[in-house]
């Protein structure tokens, strides 16, 4: 796996216990695809420091950009800052500019409210339009809040700073089943490792096709070449349409 | 983390590249909660043998029951069987009873179709109502297909064989913000580690509350005790309602 793209860690007991349906993972998946940043993995894990430390370290090994969702806040179950610091081998420090922001908007400034200003050493804040709460980031890890409205706002702030590469994709809709096309796909996938070929059967009599084959790559010519080879290896009427 | 419950591995380039929105993870999360089996983690990863091997090993370390979704089929991108075998240190064998099932329903039996009969050594098949395709399982790993209709059918077959423990849950809806309640939650969470306390702020002026606090445990008395302690530590009018 090339070490490009992004990896995501969704921190949330509330998701794993079905108290809320995670909206942040699906949004991140969709938006990264739209801007052309490959996503390597999404892990949904509990609010547990040790588990978060491991997941963040794993995400960093997989991709240069890491997005976390959740565990940012002043309560006992908000342990993401501490875990990210541990994953990086850093201390937790109090960011003076965040202390100022918290102070400005707190009626009575509690010790707990000030926890919002804690961050891994080396962290910086990115100004966030539409809310007082800035984006917290350190070493290309973006610590986004779990609350979906805030996650969505902050995600766009981060994406505006990253550069993606749109993918070239071609879909083939086939009237044959997977077993009948597997040998052809095998050969093309083996010969062209830089082209990603996916095969997705459907079991739905209301659809006119039985398998959707996806062919994608960073450039258009290898996609066209792979599609031509797949079509050439199948019976002439196997492909219902190409999109 | 107690080594009980389940962990999930969703295998799917198509999910990570936003070609389809994963329905299997959310369904699994909901159903496990309903039957009272705690879910430890959900990993969404690509169709890559090495990555699947590691994710399955990790899932097994976290929980006695592991569910995989996807990568079961005859094409080049179906590598789950091989990866699970590697994770267990087993060979891949061809199951005679599955060869028979595949033979019965194939017009022309290709070598690729027979790949459907490959399984990690020691695997068994559980008969599945509603489809010819049985559930493949080995060492409490359930290798479910990624196609949502099949995943759903097979999941119910598996769940009917497992025994959960329903959770006792109480929700408190508070008019105070998280910073104002954090100190109380801290103390109760620290004193009662067997009670899971979650704090979920909302930023929605149309709602009457600012934070939802969830209190849960395997037994009712500790939940009641924790709720009483939280309420006792807050101003009398802080709790809007308790459910």
**Which of the 8 DSSP states describes residue B166?**
P
- Its ipTM equals 0.91
Residue B112 confidence (pLDDT): 87
Closest residue to A179, CB basis, from B41, B106, B181: B106
Mean of pLDDT values over B42-49: 97
Residue B237 confidence (pLDDT): 93
Least confident of A22-26, A65-69, B91-95, B201-205: B201-205
Residue A203 confidence (pLDDT): 87
Mean of pLDDT values over B133-147: 97
CB contact under 8 A, A150 and B116: no
The residue in chain A having the minimum alpha-carbon distance to the alpha carbon of residue B75 is A182
Q: Which domains does chain A have, with CATH numbers?
A: 6-159 (3.40.980.10), 168-242 (3.30.70.2860)
CB contact under 8 A, A75 and B147: no
Min Cα distance A27 → chain B (Å) is 10
Partners of residue B23 in chain A, C-beta under 8 Å: none
CB contact under 8 A, B110 and A197: no
CB contact under 8 A, B113 and A185: no
For residues A104-136, b (16+ Cβ closer than 10 Å) or e, as one string?
eeeeeebebbbbbbbbbeebebeebeeeebbbb
For chain A, list residues with pLDDT below 70: 1-2
Min Cα distance A20 → chain B (Å) is 10
Query: Any CB–CB contact under 8 A between B184 and chain A?
Result: no
CB within 8 Å of chain B, chain A residues 59-78: 73-78
Please list the residues that pair with A211 across neighbouring strands: A174, A201
Min Cα distance B141 → chain A (Å) is 19
CB contact under 8 A, B75 and A181: yes
The whole-angstrom separation of Cα A33 and Cα A8 is: 13
| Chain A interface, best mutation among B3, B16, B99, by max A CB count within 10 A | B16
CB within 8 Å of chain B, chain A residues 214-243: 214, 216
**What is the number of CB-based contacts under 8 A between chain A and chain B?**
185
Residue A67 confidence (pLDDT): 98
| Chain A interface, best mutation among B27, B38, B44, B204, by max A CB count within 10 A | B44
CB contact under 8 A, B17 and A39: yes
pLDDT tops 70 at residue B124:
yes
CB contact under 8 A, B73 and A46: no
CB contact under 8 A, A182 and B75: yes
Mean of pLDDT values over B42-71: 97
């Amino acid at each position: 796996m090339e070490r490009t793209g992004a990896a995501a860690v969704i921190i949330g007991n509330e998701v794993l216990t079905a108290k809320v349906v995670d909206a942040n993972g699906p949004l991140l998946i969709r938006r990264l695809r739209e801007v052309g940043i490959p996503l390597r993995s999404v892990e949904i894990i509990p609010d547990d420091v040790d588990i978060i430390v491991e997941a963040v370290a794993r995400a960093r090994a997989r991709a240069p950009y890491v997005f976390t969702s959740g565990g940012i806040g002043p309560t006992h179950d908000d342990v993401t800052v501490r875990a990210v610091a541990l994953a990086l081998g850093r201390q937790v420090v109090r960011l003076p500019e965040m202390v100022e922001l918290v102070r400005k908007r707190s009626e009575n400034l509690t010790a707990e409210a000030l926890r919002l200003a804690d961050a891994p050493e080396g962290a910086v804040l990115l100004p966030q339009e539409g809310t007082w709460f800035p984006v917290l980031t350190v070493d290309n890890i973006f610590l986004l809040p779990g609350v979906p409205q805030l996650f969505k706002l902050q995600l766009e702030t981060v994406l505006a700073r990253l550069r993606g590469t749109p993918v070239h994709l071609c879909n083939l809709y086939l009237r044959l089943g997977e077993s009948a096309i597997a040998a052809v796909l095998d050969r093309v996938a083996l010969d062209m490792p830089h082209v990603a070929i996916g095969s997705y059967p459907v079991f739905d009599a209301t659809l006119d096709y039985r398998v959707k084959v996806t062919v994608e790559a960073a450039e258009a010519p290898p996609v066209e070449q792979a599609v031509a080879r797949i079509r050439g290896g199948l019976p002439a009427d196997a492909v219902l349409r190409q999109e």
